């Protein structure tokens, strides 16, 4: 299939045509033509490299009632993603080569995005002993990101060993930074509001203490560290300090932590319950600034689908997590692009180039991601209408779950088309399979 995209503004630049052929970008220029090509009118649309998510929960195997690899892949494609990292906290846990290969194969079958499995750091996410990290790295799934997400690798000796061990295959440990002894029973950000609402507090220090410890460990053993879903101003400061010392640390922030604050909890509606919790406005501002100046490397969704019964309950009983794939780019538009904190090149960098590099998907092969939109590169890209605005309707989402924190909220931007290796996974805003 050959596609000829007419008049797209690559990274917001002047309109140009892009010819996609045999899975690659064949040409970029003015007034291109190609016999037999499907023409896509991109007048007024911005072209960006296909987005890469470092943090997605696809729930399969185990909770197919909440999401499957296929439905999550469709949500991802509609959000402009061409690759997603599938977190390991499935049932069974993705802590063996067998499970990561199963997830990888399901992603291949769905064919909407490249599903890149994340391997568990420890057996069963229990934080006791290392899973067979090398076997997962050597498997067909070629795992490079390892995480016990949902749980912190709290034992400092185990964390040190994990950081060291994955150096053998250029892996990275993605830490869910949460000191569990400080967050027993925690429900929301600890502060004035938690005191009033009577919800047990999740102190910022529980995140910051682990990040501080881990950057020192990473420095000591010369390993790569990635910090998941950074949520506090203090964490941004620690990361800035660590980077200034040359520590090999990268970090991500979620769309919801860029937009929403703890005041959402006043409703006691658990759709706003998430781990780490929504924080204060000062934290939100610091996260935006940290993403803008590059202290935070990437936006990652932490897309966490949950069945209705796991959210339609008391706050304390509900599972933490919220949907994110389909609105991630819109939230970045709202919180960073429209206020002038990030340009289109910056969006491409934080949502495609850097996450692909962290996951080691940025090589020169045909299955690489986060590459520039230039001739010869894999044709992974999206077309965005930045002028469109729409009110989020959870019932209209492709995800099998409905726990969107953006329900009823108007957000800018609409992904018109997504291409995975030249094949349209989304056209005219609709998934193609």
Give the active site residues. Answer: 302
Chosen residue from 39, 316, 387, 391 binding another protein by CB under 8 A: 316
CB 324 within 8 A of CB 254: yes
Question: Which one of 169-177, 220-228, 248-256, 310-318 is the stretch in contact with another protein (CB under 8 A)?
Answer: 310-318
Cβ neighbourhood burial of 317 (10 Å; 0-12, 13-18, 19+): exposed
Selected from 124, 179, 315, 394, the binder of another protein by CB under 8 A is: 315
**CA torsion, points 141, 145, 146, 152, in degrees to nearest 10?**
-150
Q: Is 64 in the site for another protein (CB under 8 A)?
A: no
Contact positions with another protein (CB under 8 A) in 255-274 = 267-269
Name the minimum Å distance from CB 211 to another protein: 20
Helix 233-244 and helix 204-221: axis angle, to 10°? 10
Contact between 394 and another protein (CB under 8 A)? no
Interface region with another protein, contact rule CB under 8 A, candidates 14-22, 58-66, 219-227, 313-321: 313-321
Q: How far apart are alpha carbons 51 and 419 in whole angstroms?
A: 11
In the chain, the N- to C-terminal Cα span, in Å, equals 15
Q: What binding mask, one character per residue, do residues 201-240 give for another protein by CB under 8 A, x or -?
A: x-x-------------------------------------
The minimum distance between CB 281 and another protein, in angstroms, equals: 15
Contact segment (CB under 8 A) with another protein among 13-21, 82-90, 189-197, 296-304 equals 189-197
58 has binding-site annotation = yes
Q: Starting from the edge strand earliest in sequence, which strands make up the sheet with 225-227, in order?
A: 145-146, 172-175, 225-227, 249-253, 298-299
Contact (Cβ atoms closer than 8 angstroms) between residue 95 and residue 150? no
In angstroms, give the least distance from the CB of 312 to another protein.
Answer: 6
Give the pair of three-digit tokens for residue 45.
């649309």
Contact predicate 112/76, CB 8 Å:
yes
Scanning 116-191, the segments in alpha helix (DSSP H) are 133-138, 156-165
3-state secondary structure of 423: strand
* Piece of the chain touching another protein by CB under 8 A; list 46-54, 120-128, 194-202, 242-250: 194-202
Name the minimum Å distance from CB 190 to another protein: 5
Point out which residues pair with 81 in neighbouring strands: 51
- The tokens for 143 are 């795992």
Taking the C-alpha atoms of residue 121 and residue 128, their distance in angstroms, rounded to an integer, is 10
Cβ 399 vs Cβ 326: under 8 Å:
yes
Contact residue for another protein among 67, 149, 190, 362 (CB under 8 A): 190
> From the list 1, 39, 168, 195, which residue makes contact with another protein (rule: CB under 8 A)?
195
| Least spacing, CB of residue 182 vs another protein, in Å | 12
Q: Contact region for another protein (CB under 8 A) — 88-96, 145-153, 315-323, 367-375?
A: 315-323
* DSSP line for 314-344: -TTTSPP-B--TTTHHHHHIIIIITTTS--H
Containing 357, the helix (H) or strand (E) segment is: helix 354-358
Q: Which of 47, 76, 199, 411 binds another protein (CB under 8 A)?
A: 199
Residue 200 engages another protein in binding (rule: CB under 8 A):
yes
Length of the chain: 433
Per CB under 8 A, 182 contacts another protein: no
Is residue 51 within a helix (H) or strand (E), and if so which, with residue range?
A: strand 51-56
What minimum distance in Å lies between the beta carbon of 316 and another protein?
Answer: 4
CA distance 370 to 377: 10
CB 265 → another protein: shortest distance, Å?
Answer: 9
Among 125, 193, 211, 333, binds another protein (CB under 8 A): 193
Counting contacts by CB under 8 A, is residue 407 touching another protein?
Answer: no
Binding region: 55, 57-59, 89, 149, 176, 229, 275, 302, 306, 320-321
Binding region for substrate: 57-59, 89, 275, 306, 320-321
Residues at the contact surface with another protein, assessed by CB under 8 A: 187, 190-201, 203, 267-269, 309, 312-317
């Amino acid at each position: 299939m050959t596609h000829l995209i007419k008049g797209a503004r690559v990274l917001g630049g002047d309109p140009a045509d892009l010819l996609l052929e045999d899975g690659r970008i064949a040409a970029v220029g003015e007034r291109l033509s190609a016999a037999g090509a499907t023409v896509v009118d991109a007048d007024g649309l911005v072209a960006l490299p296909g987005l890469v998510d470092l943090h997605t929960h696809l729930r399969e195997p185990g909770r197919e009632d909440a999401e499957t690899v296929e439905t999550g892949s469709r949500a991802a494609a509609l959000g402009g993603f061409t690759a997603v990292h599938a977190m390991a906290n499935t049932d069974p846990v993705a802590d063996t080569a067998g499970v990561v290969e199963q997830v990888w194969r399901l992603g291949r079958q769905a064919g909407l995005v490249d599903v890149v499995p994340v391997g568990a750091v420890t057996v069963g996410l229990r934080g006791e002993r290392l899973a067979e990290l090398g076997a997962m790295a050597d498997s067909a799934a070629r795992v490079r990101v390892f995480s016990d997400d949902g749980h912190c690798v709290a034992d400092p000796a185990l964390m040190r060993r994990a950081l060291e061990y994955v150096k053998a295959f250029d892996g990275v440990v993605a830490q869910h930074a949460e000191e569990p002894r400080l967050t027993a029973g925690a429900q929301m950000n600890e502060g004035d509001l938690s005191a009033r609402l009577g919800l047990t507090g999740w102190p910022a220090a529980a995140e910051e203490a682990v990040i501080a410890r881990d950057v020192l460990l990473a420095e000591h053993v010369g390993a790569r560290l990635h910090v998941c879903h950074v949520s506090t101003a203090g964490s941004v400061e620690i990361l800035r300090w660590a980077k200034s010392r040359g520590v090999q640390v990268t970090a991500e922030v979620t769309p919801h932590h860029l937009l929403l604050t703890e005041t959402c909890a006043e409703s006691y509606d658990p759709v706003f319950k998430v781990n780490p919790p929504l924080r204060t406005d000062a934290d939100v501002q610091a996260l935006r600034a940290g993403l803008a100046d590059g202290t935070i490397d990437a936006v990652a969704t932490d897309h966490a689908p949950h069945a209705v019964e796991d959210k339609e309950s008391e706050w304390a009983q509900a599972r933490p997590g919220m949907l994110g794939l389909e609105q991630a780019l819109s939230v970045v538009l709202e919180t960073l692009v429209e206020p002038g904190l990030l340009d289109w090149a910056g969006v491409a960098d934080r949502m495609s180039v850097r996450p692909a590099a962290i996951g080691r998907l940025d090589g020169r092969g045909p299955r690489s991601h986060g590459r520039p939109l230039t001739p010869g590169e894999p044709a992974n890209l999206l077309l965005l209408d930045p002028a469109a605005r729409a009110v989020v309707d959870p019932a209209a989402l492709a995800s099998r779950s409905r726990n969107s924190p953006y329900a009823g909220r108007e957000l800018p931007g609409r992904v018109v088309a997504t291409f995975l290796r030249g094949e349209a996974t989304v056209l005219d805003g609709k998934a193609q399979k």
